[in-house]
Structure 1
Amino acid sequence: MIETKRYFDIRQVENAEVTTYTLMTIDDVELTLTRVQRSSDTDAVLMLHGLSSSSKMFTGREWYNLTCYMIDHGIGDVWLLDWRGSAEYGTKYVHREDSADDVAFKDIPLAVEFIQQQIENGLHIIGHCIGAMTLSMALAKGTIQHVKSAIITSIGLFPKLNNLTTAKLYAVPQLAEKLLDIDYFSMNADQVNPQDGQFMIHQLANLGSNECEHPTCKMLSFVWGTGHESTIFKHKHLPKETHERLEEYFGAVSSSYFRHFQKMLQHQAVVNTDASENYLDQVENIKTPMLLMTGKDNRCWHDAIQEYAKLLDRFFPSVNYEKFVIPDYSHNDVFMGKNAYLDVFPEVLAFIKKYS
């Protein structure tokens, strides 16, 4: 069994320095970039969270998190970007008309260039959910260069949701904007004003059967899934303390992202906001070795990673990738699960070290 440490908080990592940087994008979005460094003699790893989540999914103190695991197992330089869709920013950026393109071509390249100016060795990137999709877009367009390996989790350059979620995605954002006069979805029921349109969305999330009564958990399942089963994780994998504090890990989501996803699902491709560009057409530009990773029981993007791998095999055989489907895991629990350090992290670490 892999030895665990008593510390889980990144600010308690032995012999490591934690530094926070502020980066300003070309469209005036202020981003937070955190560095946890024990050594400058190893390659660096950058971690990208999913939409409505934050870098806390890699630093949560209730489980042996990926940041501490990497530091403990020979990766001495870990970077965490809170891009513009991070829960850490509250509602600061939710009224903007941001899209996945903004993340892929403004946030990620800015952070990668900054990191590469600070480090002496190579850089590897781990992306989850929309962080993985936008990382894939940036690699395909060539807006980031000289990345030694990339871990793409849950979704790459092929989108796939179940039929009910897809149908809901076509209707809910526009209805929310036109009928309820809201342009974002809050995950925290405690912050919802009964006089606000957000209250109606939370009431909709409460309709029907659900395996969990936690209000944030129900809202996450409503926004990202059918609303009738846990979408983001399997409850048995999540630490109890983490589940009780989900509102600390998941925040508000601008409806502008969902309008972009509508275009993608309509065209069955990861496209730009006006659907004039299909990023899969440029996938052969990706020279970075990729690990395509997902939970076998992913209830958010389902088998999007497996279908992406099939497309690569059939049409783009020159793309260098490996695939890791994790038995009995779902979506966020591949990083936030209490046993992920045993079931998932060793494979991630081995892939990074393979290309270090």
Structure 2
Amino acid sequence: MTARRLHARHGAAAIEHIPFRASDGTELALARVTRANGSEGAADGERPAVLLLHGLTASSDMFVLPETRNLVDVLLDAGYEPWLLDWRGSCRLPHNDDDRAGYSFDDVALYDIPEAVARVRERIGGRRLFVVAHCLGALSLSLSMTAGLVPGLAGVVAQGVFLTPKLAASTRLRMHFGFEVLRRRIRHVPVDFRKAGFRSRYTPLFALASLGADCPDPTCQMLHNSAWSVGASLFVHDQLDRRTHERLADLFGSAPMCVIPHLRRIELAHTVVRWNLSDGRYRALPENALDAADRIDCPVLLMSGSENGLWLDANKLCHDVLAARHPRLDVRYVEIPGYGHVDPFIGRSAALDVFGHIVEFLDERR
């Protein structure tokens, strides 16, 4: 298996692709980004490293958008060395479209993230290592952190959700009941209508996503108006550059049904819980991550758009809960006015409105 190439701008940076397979045999993708042609900035051997984690069905492409000033550009200019992990939920990998594939967020927390962190540390030596994570990448990271599997990080930025998921009532209803019906009939929910085809089992899902939509693009409808049929929204439409909007089908892939049972258990618990309770391989993970939050050993910045149409104000809730239960933890919350769930990373003005909060947090701890 070969990961689809990163859709990155050429010339501004050099991308080193590093072969990486998790110890359970799952092939992933890891890349290191440096300045091309020895451009100005801190010497490579002095730069703190930043590992970037995408959300489910997205990929590292969300951090290297060629049509905007992206997060990797900003980190390089600020003197950091970005590393990109495509964990098993990436649309650059085939795992979400493969009907034979099956995984839970336990696998991401136990294998993908800790082993990627270890691989990065092999290369950077004693340099400081930060993690910036989005959505279910951040949720999985919280399970790794509370298990003590990624100790000694210099700091973590968690965007959208972290330890305390919070969904709207209609989204909860669809996830717990509608997706149970879907899961018996399909293995994944696609976003690209061109690939699915008009005469397919997915046509009713696209039709449902189109109801009340302002945008005529079926992929946008599925993401902005439906979020893979759970009735949520991934972004504020006006925050996207036209070119980003045109390639949404490249930036987001199919949502696999295999993770839905774990998501349902997490949502019912209102926190991150382990899925595999009887399999001894996962015993290192806490049964309830919030109960083990005192194992978090680094500063955490919780971020969210004020118009988050998927997880609502889950990260504000997380900040308040952690501040009350674990006041010794260094946790802060930043809300980005006018932004939704994923546009804090892929929005056309994210470099002006969002990335400064991330760099400021990193700079305070570098």
Normalising by structure 2, we get a TM-score of: 0.89
Measured in 2, the distance between the counterparts of 1:154 and 1:198 equals 28
The answer to whether the 8 Å contact 2:344/2:354 transfers is: yes
Q: Displacement of 1:182 after TM fit?
A: 1.2
User: Does the alignment pair 1:209 with 2:215?
Assistant: no
Q: Displacement of 1:224 after TM fit?
A: 5.3
Which of 272, 288, 297 in structure 2 is aligned with 1:287?
Answer: 297
State the one-letter code of the partner of 2:145: L
Measured in 2, the distance between the counterparts of 1:324 and 1:119 equals 29
Unaligned runs of 5+ in 2: 1-6, 36-43, 278-285
Query: Residue 330 and residue 322 in structure 1: after superposition, are their counterparts in 2 closer, same or farther (change >3 A)?
Result: same
User: Does the alignment pair 1:166 with 2:172?
Assistant: yes
Secondary structure at the counterpart of residue 287 of structure 1: coil
Q: Displacement of 1:321 after TM fit?
A: 1.0
For residues 228-280 of structure 1, give each alpha carbon's deviation from its aligned partner in whole angstroms, at most 9, with x where no partner exists: x7x11111111011111110100012112122111111222211115781110
Identify the residue that residue 33 of structure 1 maps to in structure 2: 30
Query: Residue 151 and residue 225 in structure 1: after superposition, are their counterparts in 2 closer, same or farther (change >3 A)?
Result: farther
Identify the residue that residue 41 of structure 2 maps to in structure 1: none
Measured in 1, the distance between the counterparts of 2:330 and 2:19 equals 34
- Counterparts of 1:1-356 in structure 2 under 5 Å? 9-13=8-12, 16-38=13-35, 39-75=44-80, 77-90=81-94, 91=96, 93=98, 95-120=100-125, 121-178=127-184, 181-194=185-198, 196-206=200-210, 208-220=211-223, 221-223=225-227, 227=231, 231-273=233-275, 277-356=287-366
For residues 92-134 of structure 1, give each alpha carbon's deviation from its aligned partner in whole angstroms, at most 9, with x where no partner exists: 5554221111111110011100000000311100000001111
For residues 188-213 of structure 1, give each alpha carbon's deviation from its aligned partner in whole angstroms, at most 9, with x where no partner exists: 1111145542333223323x212322
Measured in 2, the distance between the counterparts of 1:30 and 1:285 equals 29
Measured in 2, the distance between the counterparts of 1:159 and 1:249 equals 23
Secondary structure at the counterpart of residue 197 of structure 1: coil
Secondary structure at the counterpart of residue 154 of structure 2: strand
The answer to whether the 8 Å contact 1:149/1:289 transfers is: yes
Secondary structure at the counterpart of residue 78 of structure 1: strand
For residues 277-332 of structure 1, give each alpha carbon's deviation from its aligned partner in whole angstroms, at most 9, with x where no partner exists: 11100111001110011111111100000111111111111211111111111111
The answer to whether the 8 Å contact 1:154/1:294 transfers is: yes
CA RMSD of aligned residues (A): 1.8
Identify the residue that residue 3 of structure 1 maps to in structure 2: none
- Structure 1 residues 193-202 or 47-56, which shifts more? 193-202
State the one-letter code of the partner of 1:326: I
Identify the residue that residue 5 of structure 1 maps to in structure 2: none
The answer to whether the 8 Å contact 2:190/2:228 transfers is: no
State the one-letter code of the partner of 1:18: I
Q: Displacement of 1:159 after TM fit?
A: 0.8
Percent of pairs identical after alignment? 32
The answer to whether the 8 Å contact 1:238/1:338 transfers is: yes
For residues 55-89 of structure 1, give each alpha carbon's deviation from its aligned partner in whole angstroms, at most 9, with x where no partner exists: 111001111100011111221x1100111010112
Measured in 2, the distance between the counterparts of 1:118 and 1:198 equals 44
State the one-letter code of the partner of 2:318: Y
Measured in 1, the distance between the counterparts of 2:70 and 2:51 equals 14
State the one-letter code of the partner of 1:150: V
Query: Residue 252 and residue 241 in structure 1: after superposition, are their counterparts in 2 closer, same or farther (change >3 A)?
Result: same
State the one-letter code of the partner of 1:168: R
For residues 14-43 of structure 1, give each alpha carbon's deviation from its aligned partner in whole angstroms, at most 9, with x where no partner exists: xx4320012111222110111102322110
Measured in 1, the distance between the counterparts of 2:99 and 2:322 equals 34
Measured in 2, the distance between the counterparts of 1:100 and 1:144 equals 16
Identify the residue that residue 39 of structure 2 maps to in structure 1: none
Measured in 2, the distance between the counterparts of 1:225 and 1:193 equals 17
* Aligned length, in residue pairs: 341
